[in-house]
Structure 1
Amino acid sequence: MFDDPQSPDWAPLLEAAWKARSHAHAPYSRFQVGAALLTSAGAVFGGCNVENAAYPVCLCAERGALSAAVAAGLQPGGLMAAVVVTDVAELTPPCGACRQALVEFANALPVLLANRHTRQLHRLENLLPHSFTGGHFR
């Protein structure tokens, strides 16, 4: 899984995700999340969750990282890997909204979930089977 020659070097992504997590704004849930995305150009973008007293306007770490990548020029098909880190015992996958946002940029995306002790690799298409994409409009 981690020794696959096609697999990215996870170390820079994990480092970026943990660093981003350290800046999370989670005063209500105390649940800090960090994420990092690797683009086909080799750039790494980190993001953290940003909570708000009005919960519907909260921003997840994955969509924060995705927004930074898009602002830097990311195009659909340009994502190569994603990492999501938390400091809780059970590994935490992206929420449904984040899965839907990520699939816009790469359906076959490898997604590494990690905490301080465990790592688990998934594919986005397995986390979001039968996804709704722009192809449904054609």
Structure 2
Amino acid sequence: MPDKKHAEHLFELAKDAMSKAYVPYSKFHVGAAILTSNGKFYSGCNVENAAYPEGTCAEAGAIASMVLNGDTDIKDIYVIGHGDALVTPCGGCRQKIREFSSADTMIHICGSEGVRKSLTMNELLPFSFGPENLEQ
């Protein structure tokens, strides 16, 4: 878990991103915020379009922003959504997060009250396929 100051900042970034989601079809707002190993922060929100379900997930938006700015190592990622159930990353986003993480990367699943559950990358996506699988 990041220190308290970073944890609060990540939660607020994810919450703010969630509030800006463009979801005219599903009405399901999701936000994500990343802390890299370099200490930089990135966020993203889900964005839908009329060719539903060809939208973009919040996690993918945050990762794209991170890569655009030259970072490639996720230390912590916060994902937030509404409802009683945990809003965990979809399968595609789990793989996207995996591409830029280590076994110790922490994924924090949040609701409006704060962090509901924290998992390591290996707990979220056990026996995953990653870049090292392609090394010969």
TM-score when scaled to structure 2?
0.90
Cα drift, residue 55 of structure 1: 2.4
Matched, 1:54 2:33: no
Alignment of 1:70-89 (within 5 A): 70-75=67-72, 78-89=73-84
Q: Which residue of 1 aligns with 2:35?
A: 38
Residue aligned with 1:64, SS: helix
Q: Which residue of 1 aligns with 2:91?
A: 96
Cα drift, residue 117 of structure 1: 3.1
Pick one of 5, 18, 22 that aligns with 1:21: 18
Residue aligned with 1:16, SS: helix
CA distance in structure 1 between the partners assigned to 2:131 and 2:117 by the alignment: 29
CA distance in structure 1 between the partners assigned to 2:113 and 2:106 by the alignment: 19
Q: Which residue of 1 aligns with 2:112?
A: 116
Question: Aligned residues: percent identity?
Answer: 39
**Unaligned regions of 5+ residues in structure 1, if any?**
none
Letter in 2 for 1:102: I
Matched, 1:125 2:117: no
Matched, 1:12 2:14: no
Letter in 2 for 1:111: I
Q: Any runs of at least 4 consecutive aligned residues in structure 1 with deviations exceeding 6 A, and if so which?
A: none
Question: Which deviates more from structure 2 when the two are superposed, residues 32-41 or residues 110-119?
Answer: 110-119
CA distance in structure 2 between the partners assigned to 1:99 and 1:28 by the alignment: 23
The number of aligned residues is 131
